[in-house]
Each structure stands twice: as structure tokens, then as C-alpha cells.
């Protein structure tokens, strides 16, 4: 592995019976340019993470989802996901003073 600045190169060789059959693969990873949104930037959260963030139990989060009191996503009708930014905005939307 070779690291140069913000680029990481990983090289692997697969040797076969003869030296002429040796191959080299190179994988180059670069940092995400600013302004491009990825799933990591949006910070997708699970029920456990939301419960910890809000200091609530997992059962309370599930009940809030069932009552549609909290913003959530259910992409495959099985898994339950949340966006951290939406949860934070929801948590602070009813400011008292």
C-alpha cells in the first residue's frame, strides 16, 4: 500500500505457474470533493443510534414511528432508517423560550 497526499494506492499481484502470468491490480481512492453529497455525508442512522441520540428506548422510537411522530424512511418495507439532520431538526422544532 502506498499513500501519497490524499490518494491511497493498493496494489496486489496474483502469481500463476509462470512469471509471464503475473497480473497487477491498482485501486485508487480519492477524498470526496466538496459539494458532493454521499450517504456518509447525510449520516443515515438506525433505530439504535436514534434512541441513543434522543436518550430514549428503542421501543419508544418504534412507537413514535408507528404514530408517525418522527421522520423516518423504510425503503424496502423492512429496514428502518433516519437522517440525522432531520432528527435534529425535528427534536428542536418546538422551542419553548
**pLDDT computed for residue 28 by the predictor:** 52
pLDDT at 31: 58
Does residue 86 sit in the same domain as residue 51? Answer: yes
At a CB cut-off of 8 Å and minimum separation 6, what does 45 contact? 53, 81, 82, 83, 84, 87
How large is the average pLDDT for residues 77-81? Answer: 89
pLDDT for residue 95: 78
Does residue 97 belong to any structural domain of this protein? no
Examine the domain organization and report whether 7 and 47 are in the same domain: no
Whole-prediction pTM:
0.55
The answer to whether 10 and 1 have CB atoms below 8 angstroms apart is yes
| Mean pLDDT for the stretch of residues 63-81 | 93
Q: Which domain holds residue 59?
A: 40-91
**Whether residue 82 is found in the same domain as residue 46:** yes
- pLDDT computed for residue 86 by the predictor: 94
What's the whole-number mean pLDDT along residues 54-82? 94
Distance CA 83, CA 37 (A): 13
**Domains in the chain, number:** 2
Q: What is the DSSP letter of 77?
A: S
Do residue 16 and residue 45 come from a single domain? no
pLDDT digits (tens, 9 = 90+) for 9-64: 444 455 545 455 455 545 555 555 555 555 555 589 999 999 999 999 999 999 99
Q: Within this chain, do residues 22 and 51 fall inside the same structural domain, yes or no? A: no
CB 12 within 8 A of CB 24: yes
Amino acid at each position: 500500500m502506498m499513500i501519497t497526499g490524499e490518494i491511497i494506492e493498493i496494489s496486489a499481484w496474483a502469481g500463476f505457474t509462470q512469471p509471464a502470468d503475473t497480473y497487477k491490480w491498482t485501486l485508487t481512492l480519492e477524498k470526496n470533493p466538496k459539494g458532493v453529497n454521499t450517504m456518509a455525508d447525510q449520516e443515515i442512522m438506525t433505530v439504535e443510534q436514534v434512541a441513543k441520540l434522543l436518550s430514549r428506548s428503542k421501543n419508544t422510537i418504534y412507537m413514535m414511528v408507528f404514530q408517525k411522530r418522527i421522520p423516518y424512511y423504510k425503503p424496502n418495507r423492512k429496514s428502518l432508517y433516519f437522517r440525522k439532520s432531520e432528527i435534529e431538526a425535528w427534536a428542536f422544532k418546538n422551542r419553548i423560550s
